[in-house]
Amino acid sequence: MLRNTQTGRLRERGEATPSVEVAAKLAQVLGVSLDYLVGNTDVLLDKVVSIQKLPEEDKKCIMYSIDGLIQHAKTRQAYKK
């Protein structure tokens, strides 16, 4: 049986993984989802949810900014061709 320090080193190098039960308990202790713990987060969805919680005027400003950035990116791509 491996000692805890050896097991930890193996996990750090990706040579060993915790059981689902251990990972779930760790996520619970840390107060995060199991998806978050293993890196399966949806950053874009989190941003959209944050924007939805803002006042209407702020949402309009953000959407206007996003539209401008999208148009700028499309223009740059068109000139690269």
Instruction: Provide the token pair at 40.
Output: 């399966």
Q: What is the pLDDT of residue 4?
A: 52
Question: What are 12-35's pLDDT values in tens digits?
Answer: 565 667 678 888 888 888 888 888
Q: What is the DSSP letter of 16?
A: -
Question: What are 33-74's pLDDT values in tens digits?
Answer: 888 777 777 777 788 888 999 999 999 999 999 999 999 999
Q: What is the pLDDT of residue 23?
A: 81
pTM of full prediction above 0.75: no
CA distance 48 to 37: 21
Q: What is the pLDDT of residue 58?
A: 95
Q: Which residue has the tokens 């005027």?
A: 57
Q: What is the pLDDT of residue 2?
A: 43
